Amino acid sequence: MKRFFARNAPAYIFLLPWLIGFFLLALGPILASLYLSFTRYDMVSAPRWIGWGNYEYMFTRDRRFWKALEVTFTYVALAVPARLIMALGVAMLLDKGLRTIGLYRAIFYLPSLLGASIAIAILWRQLFAADGVVNQVLAMVGIQGASWITDPDTSLYTLVVLAMWQFGSPMLIFLAGLRGIPRDLYEAAEIDGTPGWRQFTRITLPLLAPVIFFNLVLQTIDSFKTFSSAFIISNGTGAPADSLLFYTVYLFNEAFKFFRMGYASALAWFLLVIIATFTAIAFFTSKYWVHYENERD
Amino acid sequence: MAGLTLRNVGKRYGALSIIQGLNLDIHDGEFLVLVGPSGCGKSTLLRMIAGLEDISEGTISIGGKVVNDLPASKRELSMVFQSYALYPHMSVRKNLAFGLQNFKVSRAEVERRVAEAARILQIEQLMDRKPRQLSGGQKQRVAIGRSIVREPQLFLFDEPLSNLDAELRVQMRAELASLYARLGTTMIYVTHDQVEAMTMASRIVVLRGGKIEQLGTPQELYTRPQNLFVAGFIGSPKINMLQAKATRDAGRTVVSVAGMPDFAIAELPTDDQALTLCVRPASLRVGSGDVTGQGTIRLVEYLGSETLLHITLSSGQVLLASDNGRAPYRMGDPVTIGFDLSDLHYFDGAGKRIEPTQKESQIQ
């Protein structure tokens, strides 16, 4: 034992900052929140154990919880495919071999760097406001635009459009995937008279499946966690008419506005269960549609 | 089946010219091999014929019809790629059938052709496997099968054997030759391997720098190379090249090679004094010949059926001789090496083949 430490001490010393960070800032709070989810805790008095009380309330009596789920699921169902289709489309255009591809890649990636920032969410709010740029452009062609953000029927869609605009990171991954498909497969298909659309559905999509799968999982997780854009655009309330009450916004308000830390912890853990379930479903179904070049038989 | 005609065909990438003013007639049912060193334009030419590369100038006709503007799929040809280009997510069966499905061939006909190709190539037991479950040779067979099912008028092969190991390459070479004999379809085959070219071709095109150096049967290329490049490129082991000096003397030409006695031949139709004289290793003889010289054995490579002798002449020039392998040679042994005048190839200062005006010649 002594010798083990003597030999490995330098390694552990170098690992120490990370270990401290992990145990104090990650694992500790994670376990604490699991405990808190079974308590009533307002940050002033000590947590009080209530067993499954928070979860019971969540599923049986909390209407806003169900509304938040509805908003979030709708958003995920729309934003993930929209962003992936956009990302794949742009990646395919870039893959066609533009001369200044590096520049375009950087330009197209930019929204992703900015996308999650507060500034862009504020900009989005102004673009889609009743007298915003979008409506001004529509007015030029004689269309009377809606009040996109304040109308509960359209507010969520403005966020879906924002999500689409943030296609940069999946696009880069798609582009790398497209580059990995051997060109002579397309040439063989060309000689065999395969039309472009069939090349896309029979060659590109199947060979890109591992990358699509990777992006799908990553983007689904990301979309379930969407917070800052929804928070800014709805002024932190989920308004109008709770149409932007994203799960994370609701969770944040429960925690830091109403100081129901126990309940917020329960919400957070349920979100983890949702994300884990979706990821598991994706992995389970992947064997039916994802082809890996090097998989073992 | 169809013949193919290339007229003044050129290919440029910007200022870079890959192929220049190339003219070529490929006969119906011929097995034509395009051979040349890396970067000579042979693969580009094949891809131009296939319709995978645009033509910068000239015309390409297949079966008498100009195909310059026809897409690859309308040229009624099929191509086997160096990398096999099999669709990795499809079974062998689907790989074979995929192309046919684009041409509105009935399902029964697709099945018939796929089964026929599988039978010819003996891959029937592999039909439900994916390409990653196949060996290199099996993949190659599937790639060829994919070409056969199309029943094209023209087969194109782009270095199809270069990813295989030596033994398999020999085997597949024989299989391709028998496939050609069976189908009789026009085939154009690109390789950098002159052995492949020699063993399979009806005719060979030797390319260098986008130009045809020589077109002919394997025998013509071997026995009468038109220039130094072809002489050096065709034939294994490589031909011996000797720097020689020619002096005209009363209707004869006296040839001097360092390390060998001078000899006279009938007049050579050139004013150049500096010539290159080539002789194949198999034509160099130990102990005899019209012209003989002394040398020392520097290296002995015993290959079983033959022995390769590296012989240094007194001038320092190294000659390679191929012997039948029966005599016990040792490094350092002195040796008399000779050749017959009829086995010599003469090239002028520009590297172009020249022939003595008369065949009969005599030693000075």
**CATH number, residue B337:** 2.40.50.140
Boundary-marking domain end, from B232, B256, B279? B232
Q: In this complex, which of A191, A193, A203 lies closest to B87 when CB atoms are compared?
A: A203
User: Do B80 and B172 fall into the same domain?
Assistant: yes
User: How far is B276 from A251, CA to CA, in rounded Å?
Assistant: 89
Per-residue pLDDT at A112? 67
Residue B363 belongs to a domain = no
- In this structure, what token pair is assigned to residue B108? 């029964």
User: Do B139 and B267 fall into the same domain?
Assistant: no
Q: Which of A99, A184, A185, A191 best tests the B interface by mutation, with the highest count of B CBs <10 A?
A: A191
- The answer to whether residue B77 neighbours chain A at the CB level (below 8 Å) is yes
Q: What is the dihedral of CA B254, B260, B261, B267, to 10 degrees?
A: -20
Q: Which residue has the tokens 């520097």?
A: B298
- A184: which chain B residues are within 8 Å (Cβ-Cβ)? 81, 83, 85
- Counting residues of chain B whose pLDDT is more than 70, the rounded percentage is 98
User: Do B244 and B156 fall into the same domain?
Assistant: no
Q: In this complex, which of A191, A198, A291 lies closest to B72 when CB atoms are compared?
A: A191
What domain range includes position B284? 237-354
Q: Which of B73, B95, B129 best tests the A interface by mutation, with the highest count of A CBs <10 A?
A: B73
Lowest mean pLDDT among B38-42, B150-154, B236-240, B360-364: B360-364
CATH for A62-289 is 1.10.3720.10
- The answer to whether residue B73 neighbours chain A at the CB level (below 8 Å) is yes
B363 has a pLDDT exceeding 60: no
Cβ pair B50:A191 closer than 8 A: yes
- The answer to whether residue A192 neighbours chain B at the CB level (below 8 Å) is yes
User: Do B285 and B224 fall into the same domain?
Assistant: no
Boundary-marking domain end, from B232, B261, B283? B232
- Counting residues of chain B whose pLDDT is more than 90, the rounded percentage is 65
Show Cβ contacts of residue B112 under 8 Å, excluding neighbours closer than 6 positions: none
Domain count, chain B: 2
Sheet holding B307-313, edge to edge: B285-286, B334-339, B291-302, B307-313, B318-323
Per-residue pLDDT at B361? 46
The CATH code of the domain that includes B69 is 3.40.50.300
Decide which of B363 and A214 is more confident.
Answer: A214
Per-residue pLDDT at A97? 66
DSSP B36-105: -STTSSHHHHHHHHHTSS--SEEEEEETTEE-TTS-GGGS-EEEE-TT----TTS-HHHHHHHHHHTTT-
Per-residue pLDDT at A116? 59
- B85: which chain A residues are within 8 Å (Cβ-Cβ)? 182, 184-185, 187-188
- The answer to whether residue A97 neighbours chain B at the CB level (below 8 Å) is no
- The answer to whether residue B221 neighbours chain A at the CB level (below 8 Å) is no
Give me the tens of pLDDT residue by residue for chain A, a chain 297 residues long: 778 878 888 898 999 999 999 999 999 999 999 999 999 999 889 999 999 999 999 999 999 999 999 999 999 999 999 999 999 998 998 887 666 667 777 777 776 666 556 777 788 778 888 788 888 888 888 887 777 887 888 889 988 988 888 888 899 899 999 999 999 999 999 999 899 999 999 999 999 999 999 999 999 999 999 998 889 888 888 778 888 899 999 999 999 999 999 999 999 999 999 999 999 999 999 988 887 766 544
User: Do B224 and B259 fall into the same domain?
Assistant: no
Residue B364 belongs to a domain = no
User: Do B29 and B153 fall into the same domain?
Assistant: yes
Per-residue pLDDT at A296? 46
B268: confidence class by pLDDT, cuts 50, 70, 90: confident
All structural domains of chain A with their residue ranges = 62-289
Show Cβ contacts of residue B308 under 8 Å, excluding neighbours closer than 6 positions: B237, B281, B299, B300, B301, B320, B321, B322, B323
Q: Average pLDDT, stretch B246-250?
A: 84
pTM for the model stands at 0.82
Q: Average pLDDT, stretch B172-186?
A: 90
Per-residue pLDDT at B318? 92
Alpha helices in chain B (DSSP H): 42-50, 92-101, 107-121, 136-149, 166-183, 194-200, 218-223, 228-233
User: Do B208 and B325 fall into the same domain?
Assistant: no
User: Do B216 and B86 fall into the same domain?
Assistant: yes
User: Do B276 and B318 fall into the same domain?
Assistant: yes
Q: In this complex, which of A187, A193, A297 lies closest to B103 when CB atoms are compared?
A: A193
Residue B253 belongs to a domain = yes
User: Do B147 and B62 fall into the same domain?
Assistant: yes
User: Do B66 and B213 fall into the same domain?
Assistant: yes
B306 has a pLDDT exceeding 60: yes
User: Do B255 and B311 fall into the same domain?
Assistant: yes
- B83: which chain A residues are within 8 Å (Cβ-Cβ)? 182, 184
Q: Among all residues of chain B, which has the CA nearest to that of A290?
A: B89
- The answer to whether residue B71 neighbours chain A at the CB level (below 8 Å) is yes
- The answer to whether residue A144 neighbours chain B at the CB level (below 8 Å) is no
Per-residue pLDDT at B364? 46
For the stretch B71-90, pLDDT in tens is: 999 999 999 999 999 999 99
> ipTM of the assembly?
0.84
Boundary-marking domain end, from B232, B265, B297? B232
Per-residue pLDDT at A168? 83
Cβ pair B87:A185 closer than 8 A: yes
Per-residue pLDDT at A297? 45
